[in-house]
């Protein structure tokens, strides 16, 4: 190769090298430009929980529909925060990102501040009903995040103590476990409970009954549509002891120990659209039940309550028959068959001890037949205050007074 | 010296606790703009801004002439923290169009920006304008009604929320309820934090 040829070869090599360099530079700059111009395409490298002690991370991350390898979806993260925020198990919820192992990867951190898992409720009231003075005391303690998975353990006690007049007493206790998502299903739930009760009642005609019972029950239910539910309860009566003392027309007293049911089967349909469990301002609750036992005929029962609020913040409520509970539990309340009441809000205290509250006035009416067939009507007035307190949970204090009117007399 | 320190600390606390926000007009190139200063954002904002997620401030500015609505503009400020560069991308949009896009280096700069918002060129100046007022409604991370309804439906279907368990309302639950309450009052957008500010009456020279 001559000198010119060598020079030409060298020039071609140099040009090729420069061309490659320029192309690489262009390619690199195009990549850089593409990186800076393209929207953020971060990928989830890992999901972690912080601040959770009683609640499992699996439970928390069950509210966030993102998996490692997914693109970071800010809308979904926002939705998950709202879903978690709807859970009373948390005082606050925060979701943020941390750097991952490379520039396009991040860790999604769900940080929670857990609320007190125990919820408390107290009810105390003094009542003068018909011709006896009684004191009702009831308490309920619920662990609302059992095993850190949102299951519930509910313990309640009830005492209705006679103070003066005829004996009308009842003492009961119940422990129940609630799985709001049976077998991780979306709408099915399970309740399993045991309860004991002792009850003594003296009627207007001096008839007396004494009942001691111990029962176990299981309920399978399904939430329907937005507010409704349907459930089937099976209750096994493990022990029951019933004594009746019935005055006869000849002056003697018949003492009976009737056979009691071995089981009770209850099908229930209900709904609850009230906007607040303890301080509702609108919505309604209802329950309708069909009960079968092995010794008595099938029977219907239930109740309905409607709440609405008028201008000025007064909440009104009307109730017929039984006070409806919710799908997970019945209401504990001293009540009359039909009632109409109103409630006015009480502001929270500056110390924070009282978070919110209301005072209420309720007029009620009941009617029934006595043992001998007399028909009587009961008219009552209930005045109370319900407070949501920091130290004691929800506290309801009331006084109830009723008058009686016997209008007819049948034959025993 | 100690007295001076106390005064200084007092001033700082007074500033931190926040006096009322102010909204004032500004006229530029035959347009009316708004300057919104001293918004009292929630305490969580500092942490939220560094979350790596986009934080949005939506401001709806309305111009009224003698209580008659003359126009509405929607201003959105999107702030996103870059976890690697440790800078903040701040994009201001007016009715969906980007009008300002910048990168701020520190959290302090972002907070200053958000507390001294300038929104120029919102409404044209037309002849015979009477006494005017501006009104700004600011929402932090607003949630659309449809989205909230979907979440609400999800909660109804999935929540283990029952009366007793709701006895002690948690802060997060309160936040959730607060958003619902805004929709219950027929608001078309709701947020954990919102603030409304009105300007004093003003007039603009004829064009």
Any idea where the domains of chain A sit in the sequence?
1-38, 43-114, 118-408
Domain span at residue B161 reads 144-188
> CA end-to-end span of chain A, whole Å?
137
Tell me whether residue B79 is in a domain: yes
| CATH at residue B69 | 2.60.40
* Per-residue confidence (pLDDT) for residue B13, from 0 to 100: 43
Give the SS3 label for residue A281: coil
Q: Cα(A293)–Cα(A296) distance, rounded to whole angstroms? A: 6
* Per-residue confidence (pLDDT) for residue B59, from 0 to 100: 92
Q: Are residues B101 and B173 in the same domain?
A: no
Q: Are residues B116 and B152 in the same domain?
A: no
Of A82, A119, A140, the CB nearest to B151: A82
Report CA torsion sign: B167, B171, B173, B175.
positive
Q: Are residues B26 and B107 in the same domain?
A: yes
Q: Which CATH architecture has domain A43-114?
A: Roll (3.10)
Q: Are residues B98 and B158 in the same domain?
A: no
Q: Are residues B44 and B109 in the same domain?
A: yes
Ranges of residues in chain A whose predicted pLDDT is under 70: 1-40, 408-412
More confident call, B79 vs B153: B79
Which tokens sit at B112? 């200053």
- Torsion region of A92: left, alpha or beta (phi above 0 gives left; psi -120 to 50 gives alpha): beta
Domains A43-114 and A118-408 equal at CATH topology level:
no
Entry field: residues in chain A: 412
- Helices B171-184 and B145-158 cross at an angle (nearest 10°) of 130
Q: Does the pLDDT value for residue B48 go beyond 80?
A: yes
Give the SS3 label for residue A12: helix
Q: Are residues B28 and B111 in the same domain?
A: yes
Burial (CB < 10 A; 0-12, 13-18, 19+), residue A101, is exposed
Report CA torsion sign: B42, B48, B50, B54.
negative
- Helices B171-184 and A74-85 cross at an angle (nearest 10°) of 110
CB-CB neighbors (< 8 A) of A91 in chain B: 170-172
The CA distance from B186 to the nearest CA of chain A, in Å, is 16
Give the residue-averaged pLDDT of B69-77: 91
* Per-residue confidence (pLDDT) for residue B97, from 0 to 100: 92
Q: Does A60 touch chain B (CB under 8 A)?
A: no
Q: Are residues B175 and B97 in the same domain?
A: no
The ipTM, to two decimals, is 0.78
Per the listing, tokens 């262009």 go with A26
* Per-residue confidence (pLDDT) for residue B192, from 0 to 100: 76
Per the listing, tokens 């500092």 go with B46
pLDDT in tens, B100-157: 999 999 999 999 999 999 999 999 988 888 899 999 999 898 887 777 777 777 776 6
Q: Is B170 close to A103, i.e. CB distance below 8 A?
A: no
Q: Which residues of B18-55 are buried (b: 16+ CB within 10 A; e: fewer)?
A: eeebebebbeeeeebbbbbebbbbeeebeebbbbbbbb
Domain A118-408 CATH assignment equals 2.40.160: yes
Q: Are residues B69 and B95 in the same domain?
A: yes
Q: Are residues B89 and B121 in the same domain?
A: yes
Tell me whether residue B3 is in a domain: no
Tell me whether residue B1 is in a domain: no
Q: Are residues B99 and B163 in the same domain?
A: no
The number of beta carbons lying within 10 Å of the beta carbon of residue A43 is: 14
Q: What is the DSSP letter of B110?
A: H
CB-CB neighbors (< 8 A) of B86 in chain A: none
Tell me whether residue B2 is in a domain: no
Tell me whether residue B4 is in a domain: no
Residue among B135, B102, B115, B146 nearest B39 (CA): B115
Tell me whether residue B114 is in a domain: yes
Q: Is B156 close to A226, i.e. CB distance below 8 A?
A: yes
Q: How many domains does chain B have?
A: 2
Beta carbons within 8 Å of A44's beta carbon, 6+ residues apart: A66, A67, A68, A69, A70, A71, A72, A105, A106, A107, A108
* Per-residue confidence (pLDDT) for residue B7, from 0 to 100: 46
Q: Are residues B97 and B156 in the same domain?
A: no
* Per-residue confidence (pLDDT) for residue B130, from 0 to 100: 85
Of A78, A99, A120, the CB nearest to B167: A120
Tell me whether residue B5 is in a domain: no
Q: Are residues B133 and B175 in the same domain?
A: no
Per the listing, tokens 């090729």 go with A16
Q: Does the pLDDT value for residue B1 go beyond 50?
A: no
Of B84, B163, B170, the CB nearest to A103: B84
Q: Is B173 close to A181, i.e. CB distance below 8 A?
A: no
Assign B176 a pLDDT band (cuts: 50, 70, 90).
low
Across chain B, mean pLDDT equals 80
Beta strands in A22-165 (DSSP E): 43-50, 90-99, 105-114, 118-129, 132-146, 151-165
If you count DSSP H runs as helices and E runs as strands, how many of each does chain B have, helices first?
A: 5, 11
Highest mean pLDDT among A367-376, B90-99, B173-182 belongs to: B90-99
Q: How many CA atoms lie within 13 A of A283 on its CB side?
A: 18
Q: What is the DSSP letter of B205?
A: -
Residue B63's beta-bridge partner residues?
A: B71, B134
């Amino acid at each position: 190769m001559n000198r010119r040829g060598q020079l030409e070869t060298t020039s071609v090599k140099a040009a090729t090298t420069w061309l490659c360099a320029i192309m690489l530079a262009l390619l690199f700059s195009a990549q850089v430009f593409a990186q800076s111009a393209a929207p953020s395409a971060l990928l989830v490298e890992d999901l972690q929980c912080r601040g959770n002690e009683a609640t499992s991370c699996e439970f928390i991350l069950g509210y966030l529909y993102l998996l490692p390898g997914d693109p970071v979806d800010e809308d979904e993260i926002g939705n998950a925060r709202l879903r978690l925020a709807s859970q009373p198990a948390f005082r606050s919820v925060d979701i943020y990102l941390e750097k991952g192992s490379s520039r396009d990867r991040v860790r999604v951190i769900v940080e929670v501040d857990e609320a007190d898992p125990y919820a408390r409720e107290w009810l105390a009231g003094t009542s003068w009903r018909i011709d006896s003075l009684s004191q009702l005391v009831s308490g309920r303690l619920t662990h609302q995040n059992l095993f850190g998975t949102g299951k519930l353990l509910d313990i309640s006690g009830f005492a209705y103590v006679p103070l003066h007049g005829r004996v009308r007493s009842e003492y009961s206790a119940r422990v129940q476990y609630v799985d709001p998502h049976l077998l991780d299903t979306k709408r099915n739930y399970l309740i399993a409970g045991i309860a004991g009760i002792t009850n003594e009642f003296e009627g207007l005609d001096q008839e007396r009954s004494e009942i001691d019972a111990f029962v176990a029950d299981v309920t399978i239910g399904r939430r329907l549509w937005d507010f409704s539910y349907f459930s089937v309860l099976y209750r096994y009566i493990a022990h029951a002891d019933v004594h009746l003392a019935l005055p006869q027309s000849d002056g003697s007293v018949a003492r009976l120990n009737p056979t009691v049911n071995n089981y009770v089967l209850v099908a229930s349909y209900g709904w609850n659209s009230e906007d607040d469990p303890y301080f509702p301002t609108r919505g309604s609750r209802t329950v309708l039940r069909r009960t079968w036992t092995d010794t008595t005929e099938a029977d219907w029962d239930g109740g309905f309550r409607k709440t609405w609020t008028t201008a000025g913040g007064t909440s009104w409520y009307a109730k017929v028959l039984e006070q409806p509970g919710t799908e997970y539990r019945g209401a504990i309340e001293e009540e009359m068959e039909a009632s109409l009441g109103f409630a006015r809000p009480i502001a929270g205290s500056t110390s924070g001890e009282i978070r919110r509250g209301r005072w209420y006035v309720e007029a009620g009416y009941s009617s029934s037949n006595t043992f001998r067939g007399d028909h009587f009507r009961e008219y009552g007035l209930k005045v109370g205050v319900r407070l949501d307190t920091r130290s004691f949970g929800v506290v309801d204090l009331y006084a109830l007074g009723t008058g009686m009117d016997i209008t007819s007399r049948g034959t025993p | 010296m100690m007295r001076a320190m106390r005064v200084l600390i007092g001033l700082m606390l007074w500033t931190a606790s926040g006096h009322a926000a102010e909204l004032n007009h500004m006229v530029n190139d035959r347009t009316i703009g708004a300057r919104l200063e001293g918004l009292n954002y929630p305490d969580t904002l500092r942490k939220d801004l560094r979350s790596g997620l986009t934080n949005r401030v939506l401001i709806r500015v309305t111009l009224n002439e003698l209580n008659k609505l003359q126009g509405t503009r929607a201003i959105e400020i999107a702030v996103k923290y870059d976890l690697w560069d440790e800078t903040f991308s701040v994009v201001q949009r007016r009715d969906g169009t980007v009008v300002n896009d910048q990168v701020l280096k520190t959290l302090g700069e972002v907070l200053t920006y958000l507390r001294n918002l300038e929104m120029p060129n919102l409404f044209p100046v037309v002849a015979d304008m009477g006494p005017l007022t501006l009104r700004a409604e600011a929402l932090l991370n607003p949630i659309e009604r449809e989205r909230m309804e979907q979440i609400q439906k999800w909660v109804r279907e999935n929540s283990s929320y029952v009366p007793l368990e709701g006895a002690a309302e948690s802060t997060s639950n309160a936040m959730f309820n607060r958003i619902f309450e805004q929709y219950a009052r027929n608001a078309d957008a709701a947020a954990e934090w919102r603030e409304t500010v009105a300007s004093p009456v003003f007039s603009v020279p004829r064009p």
